[in-house]
Structure 1
């Protein structure tokens, strides 16, 4: 029966078939005289024969669920409509109705539920008639041998153990909060920023207040959102202690593992309750408390390598941000700070998320062709659909890539994924991360372009027709984006020593890594062409480490540039240099991101050496192929 059903799929993909049905059901030209049938699926036509009122206006936001939670559009938005005057709740209905909890169908067949990671997370359940539910989280059954390199890379592998007995988390809370502030924050940040860290400005003070209210003050009306933030920070701190047994404490590593597990469960439960009951009155929680808590939970998921949890939290953070944040007539400074944190996590995280078994539907191609007609080449900054980094929204002459032109305040405040690369004077990324907004926007643009090109390449192989005008538009934008990326790197390469601070050296490494990232994901060049940029990153990271020692900062900084460079290194000396940096970073903090980087780099090198030894003429293996095959999402935020 399964084989027969699979054979009936016209596109070879359940997702694509369901997206096709969804697109047809929204087509005004569709006849109401019968059901809609695509392969083994069909939908009853429940449209009334006549209606005295005009149908309500809905948001055109069709998404297709991709591998491991990536939301992929069956029909990219056509921005030919005026700004929508709709309520936040009705805005979300159009997009959320088609969110299949961010699980690819193959996940349901290949993976089994794990008691530890089965996280219902009913985020905003049944708010104004729509289900705001988080995805259940699944983990892969470990059937691989102990020596199989894929074993350590299994999605959702976690150090947490459900068999551990319960502990009193609050008994260790004062010590854990202090440890988080004094030690963990510095190692979580991409660059050292001292007291300017948003964790010290927002999360830690909120957690301390929640702890005092919960304990000696005995306050009864603490919001679930504030408690979720508190427990998330305690979980991060305890995980850091459990991952670094050399840190001397009065408790054992096993104790900190138990505390990590208990705090993690409490954080999930509190976040679940908050987003079920604290969105509207009478128990409405503060928006910044909810977004702060989701960002903290995302950080914990990334530290532990829980890639599906991390994706769920990122998507739901965007849902909350669009529902409660961007709908406000005035966005406060603290809310803007949280928006910046979300943007950093989402863009840098998406950069290493690779589409796995994605097969674009016919509706995707038809809409793509329509989207890139000249008369539709407009850009709406108030587009309320959930973003999937699988669409381009160019304006006339691609003016959104003019990185030296100003971006007005109204556009900038709502451009949460930096689809517009122009400069905004009021940006906070330099203050929060020590990184210009332009770098982050170019990473976002490159990720989008890479995902779209991957989809179009698949479409061409499956003989789906793409208009010449659409190809030409994408080609011109690709060239312009390459010019922007290389110009940005050139400007920073000229300033060899910068101001001597760790940040200036890390920025130089990130700049060179951006060039490699563009040429790997979009140009797909041979690694030997990129060795000059690999050398630049190795030298910059060495200078970064020396500067950290001088300012007595523990580091290690973000692993993103080391991973991007290491996967392209083709000589022994370059590979050893990047591997040493990654291993040193793991020794400093114990975070799973450095383990992920090391394992992927080693596998890429093994495959590349085999490829070069065989002198084959096909494409050389890269980290992109490894991520696809291992169904891995290495996150380096």
Structure 2
């Protein structure tokens, strides 16, 4: 049958044979009667489309053009190439289509198809010619699609009108696939590819405490999930993403857009105002989807993945940090804390991805809490009972925090771990796996071998745990002072217990700093670690300052040496950075903590230069906020030295309480 078919048709390519069929069917000399068949068994039977006519030549019974001739089959472009309007063949017949077929290259010959035998590898009896020749591409191009493809909306609309929906083999488009996102939301995704790239290349390195060159959780988890969600709701249209994944997508885009608002590139068409509008709209979408997810997707039947919800909340916290929206950051942190206790910590097995997200949350929470002094320090009944028991759990009592009680004050960060000793401060002892995986506030400062903070942030977990311990103890002591001033009958034993713990914590912080400075140093030729070493020096010195400010409340003149160490380390850090580096310092924390204790003009100028260098590269709102707070504090301190030398020296805590401000330095 294949041989007979080949004899009846012209030699050459399939395109040439089809062209001859079309040309001869239009010839005035073609026969007017008889069946028009080609090959044995009437394989190609066109009788239904024509009048019975007499055939001539090679016995080929020709046909006139039909509504959609076989010769008008479009050749699909490669999947890697963009589908442009010029790549789509017209669906209506015309002379230019038929004439052009005669000049096509002979890539595919009849022997390629008709020489196939059923026993050949890869041959499928389900392959039917009708499946090939009935294929009609009918692109439906929206305004978003046309922008992505480089066309204007009118061209896209005209091309869409040419299509005939419902044809066999029609390619589904995003508009034909059920989606939750309306077209107005899709328009926000026009700049998504560029924002993805900017988030990866500029925003992620800027969020890191120091340049590491390692893959960040933001790239491994948030960015990867956002790209998949973007493809799902645009060109793939494969499924409806959850609200949690949509919140992560829009939150990530908002982070990139707000970063461009603070420092737009010179080569971009969009202005800072344009990026500001995009950031506001995507942020609003992220908040709406996050709220819906927490309400509807936390439990069955529409349960979202835990890691999708947590990464979305962390993304919203990060947006609040970049843009300096303190009230929103507080709400997101409380939501994240509640989600961790409800869905994350009760799990039997905490996956590696979940652990990465827990590390991100812990960094944001602990560093953020260290500068949050807007608590209501009025002592509660629970606090007074804890004072009476010297912060030890009485026999038979229940630890509210351990039971994940819904009434526990998630936003206060005031609790001290109820233990019969201060063993949790032994930073050289190991911490077991169960405690380490669930210690999201790093209440236990012992060493945890499975920690990932060095890989993610380049800092030891011990440093972060000591910041947490200092913040907790400072909040408890502040509440104790308030209780004493209110005459609530606090005992001397309770105060002595707090003093013993503060002395032990001081010893841990000082020994940690001494061990770092006197330990083995890297080789002199190891230049790759220089920025890292300098930043660790700055963090250690600023931790000392932080302890003596929050716990001991000493005069700034006593801390001058530590301030000098921070200034020197930060300047050396910036000097050691490569010129094209975007990594670190993602936090203004060490500069802020040290700058608020700078009482001389030389120290103040040195800190301001460090902040300005960092701000030029990172462009986070936290750097400008830190400068504003320090300038206001320095003004108050200078006035104090002139008028009220006998009173308490103003500190950054006083400025923040007076202005109800929370500098987000995480």
Give the structure-2-normalised TM-score.
Answer: 0.68
8 A Cα contact 1:530 1:568, kept in partner? yes
Name the structure 1 match of 2:320: 301
Q: 1:357 to 1:391 in 2, by over 3 A?
A: closer
* Aligned equivalent of 1:572: 601
**Is 1:563 aligned with 2:592?**
yes
The separation in 2 between residues aligned to 1:547 and 1:300, in whole angstroms, is: 29
Report matched runs for 1:150-299 at 5 Å.
Answer: 168-299=187-318
Correspondence for 2:634: 605
C-alpha distance in structure 2 between counterparts of 1:242 and 1:553, whole Å: 17
Larger radius of gyration: 2
1:343 aligned to 2:367?
Answer: no
Rounded Cα–Cα distance in structure 1 between residues aligned with 2:662 and 2:518: 33
Q: CA deviation at 1:352?
A: 0.2
Preserved contact between residue 579 and residue 598 of structure 1 (Cα < 8 Å):
yes
Structure 2 CA distance for aligned equivalents of residues 198 and 444 of structure 1: 22
**Residue 508 (structure 1) shift:** 1.2
After superposition, the C-alpha distances for 1:55-78 in whole angstroms (9 at most, x for unaligned) are xxxxxxxxxxxxxxxxxxxxxxxx
CA–CA separation in structure 1 for the residues paired with 2:302 and 2:241:
10
Instruction: Tell me the CA shift for residue 245 of structure 1.
Output: 3.2
How far apart, in 1, do the equivalents of 2:616 and 2:622 lie? 12
Aligned counterpart, 1:384: 404
Q: Offset of 1:472 from its aligned partner? A: 1.8
Note the C-alpha offset of 1:550. 6.3
Q: 1:598 to 1:405 in 2, by over 3 A?
A: same
Q: By how many angstroms is 1:257 displaced?
A: 1.3
* 2:369 paired with 1:370: no
2:463 paired with 1:439 = yes
Offset at residue 230 of structure 1 (A)? 0.6
Of 461, 473, 481, 1:449 maps to 473
The residue aligned with 1:508 is 537
CA–CA distance in structure 2, aligned partners of residues 177 and 245 of structure 1: 15
CA–CA distance in structure 1, aligned partners of residues 237 and 641 of structure 2: 67
Is 2:507 aligned against 1:488? Answer: no
Greater relative CO, 1 or 2 (CA 8 Å, sep 6+): 1
**Alpha-carbon distance in structure 2 between the residues aligned to 1:252 and 1:372:** 55
Counterpart-to-counterpart distance in 1, 2:403 and 2:562: 37
Asked if 1:526 is matched to 2:555, the reply is yes
Q: Give the corresponding residue for 2:426.
A: 402
Report the counterpart of residue 445 of structure 2 in structure 1. Answer: 421
Q: Distance in 2 between matches of 1:374 and 1:433?
A: 35
The change in CA–CA distance for 1:605 and 1:496 in structure 2 (over 3 A counts) is: farther
Structure 2 equivalent of residue 311 of structure 1: 330
Cα distance in 1, alignment partners of residues 233 and 546 from structure 2: 46
Paired residue secondary structure (2:542): helix
Q: Indicate if the aligned counterparts of 1:567 and 1:623 stay in contact, CA closer than 8 A.
A: yes
1:588 aligns with 2:617: yes
Aligned residues of 1:556 and 1:588 also touching (Cα < 8 A): no
8 A contact 2:587–2:665 mirrored in 1: yes
Q: Secondary structure at the match of 1:420?
A: coil
Are the aligned partners of 2:390 and 2:497 in contact in 1 as well (CA < 8 Å)?
no
Q: 1:497 to 1:632 in 2, by over 3 A?
A: farther
The residue that corresponds to 2:653 in the other structure is: 624
User: CA offsets, 1:533-578, max 9 Å, x none?
Assistant: 1011011111111221268345443210000000001111110000
On the 8 A contact 2:582/2:617 being kept in 1, the answer is no
Over residues 89-140 of structure 1, what are the superposed CA-to-partner deviations in whole Å (9 max), with x where a residue is unaligned? xxxxxxxxxxxxxxxxxxxxxxxxxxxxxxxxxxxxxxxxxxxxxxxxxxxx
Can you give the 5+ residue segments of structure 2 that lack an aligned partner in the other structure?
Answer: 1-183
Contact kept, 8 Å, 1:176 with 1:237, in 2: the verdict is: yes
CA distance in 1 between partners of 2:597 and 2:397 (Å): 37
User: Are the aligned partners of 1:348 and 1:443 in contact in 2 as well (CA < 8 Å)?
Assistant: yes
Post-superposition offset of 1:495: 5.3
User: Separation in 2 of the partners of 1:343 and 1:371?
Assistant: 27
The 1:279–1:428 alpha-carbon spacing in structure 2 relative to 1, beyond 3 Å, is same
TM-score normalised by structure 1 residue count: 0.71
Across the two proteins, how many residue pairs are aligned to each other? 473
Q: Structure 1 residues 408, 378: CA separation in 2 closer, same or farther (over 3 Å shift)?
A: farther
Cα deviation, residue 374, structure 1:
7.8
2:32 aligned partner? none
Post-superposition offset of 1:524: 0.2
CA distance in structure 2 between the aligned counterparts of 1:376 and 1:625, rounded to whole angstroms = 40
Alpha carbons 1:401, 1:481 under 8 Å: kept: yes
User: Quick one: distance in 1 between partners of 2:306 and 2:386?
Assistant: 35
Gaps of 5+ in 1: 1-164
**Residue 355 (1) aligns with residue 374 (2):** yes
- Give the Cα–Cα distance (whole angstroms) in 2 for the partners of residues 411 and 291 of structure 1: 21
Taking structure 1 as reference, are residues 552 and 229 closer, same or farther at Cα in structure 2, changes over 3 Å only? same
CA deviations over 1:418-476 (Å, ceiling 9, x no partner): 10100010001111100100001100000000001111111111111112222221111
> What CA distance in whole angstroms lies between the structure 2 residues aligned with 1:318 and 1:601?
31
Matched residues in 2 for 1:212 and 1:195: separation?
Answer: 26
Counterpart-to-counterpart distance in 2, 1:608 and 1:481: 29
Q: CA deviation at 1:304?
A: 0.9
Determine helix, strand or coil for the equivalent of 1:170: coil
Q: Say which SS state the counterpart of residue 395 (structure 1) adopts.
A: coil
RMSD: 2.1
Residue 320 (structure 1) aligned with residue 339 (structure 2): yes
Cα pair distance change 1:566/1:225, threshold 3 Å: same
1:469 maps to 493
Distance 1:202 1:615 in 2: 54
466-475 or 494-503, larger mean C-alpha shift: 494-503
Distance 2:238 2:244 in 1: 15
